[in-house]
Amino acid sequence: MAQPFPFAAIVAQEDMKKALLMAAVEPLLGGVLIFGDRGTGKSTAVRALTELLPPIETRDGCRYNCLPAEPQSACTVCNPSSGLKPPAIVKHRAPMIDLPLGATEDRVCGSLDIEKALVAGEKHFEPGLLAAANRGFLYIDEINLLEDHLVDLLLDAAASGVNVVEREGLSIRHAARFVLVGSGNPEEGDLRPQLLDRFGLSVDVRTIDDLDQRIEVIRRRDTYETDPRGFVKLWAKRDAAVGRRVIAARKILRQVEIPDHVVRRMSQLCLRLGIDGMRGELTLMRASRAAAALSARLQVTWDDVADIAPMVLCHRLRRDPLDDAGSAPRIERALASIDDTGKDRHAHG
């Protein structure tokens, strides 16, 4: 099977690439939602990203992607019975699981293995897609067409990092730590506002309108389809450099500090925009840390926050029927209204 299109070879779409890289550095961001026109590289970018990440270690045959040093109680491979030795430790690519639109709740969460129940009379758990995505990515194309109860379920698992199954006499609990990435075409329907708010980052991608960039896109794609191996090899060094940035950022992420005056301005920005709840500020903090870490810095600046604010806050804004400029200009105006001391220039008194 041909390797995915190289991440570094994707033309333009800088916001989408940055959002995916930040999510790869900081899984607590809560996933990425990518909405936009067909043929803008949404699924290409997601699949390319997993090639950049370091391989994960687990046991041979493990279906839960357990850490070898922390086997899960639900995993019979990593926890063999009768004192048997667990299988050898192996390395493989970080999982990137596609969730089909027609998936059932049993397929997503896991269920009773009917064959073993009928043949051997044993209750045996058959892991689902959440187990397969542990320590990797779960990708949903056309997420706006997925049933709402499944989206709720996936967001809950992504936020808690745990999948709990209580049904048919089974009581199973296993890790489900993954980055949820959803993409879709807004012409086919929107997500409910309650679900939009649960995604950490949301990016709108548009068809490239720069002539030179459009030509470069079709040239690169044509070269890749003609000689996939040669094209991937040509971009290997640049892809590897992006991968090293992600690994280095992960190592320093928890050391990145956010000065008090920057936190103050974050909260002032969310107040100015009327953002409901505290999720906006928390996501701004996490995303700005990831952005600084990707730039190999140990301190967040206000420029980091201003740069990522649209992808963190646009989808959390209340709709304003009197403002036809759109969400991004509203955020730009709010950013301009906060001075470098964190005071609202429009505040009275």
The three-point CA angle 297-302-308 to 5° equals 85
Give the list of residues 6+ apart from residue 238 with CB closer than 8 angstroms, or none: 6, 8, 9
Q: How far apart are CA 47 and CA 141, in angstroms?
A: 12
Q: How many Å apart are CA 166 and CA 177, to the nearest integer? A: 19
Tokens 């900081």 appear where?
26
Catalytic residues: 279
Rounded Cα distance between 220 and 84, Å, is: 52
What is d(CA 202, CA 182) in angstroms, rounded to the nearest whole number?
A: 9
Kindly provide the residue ranges of all beta strands, DSSP E only, lying in 142-269, ordered along the sequence: 162-167, 170-175, 178-184, 201-205
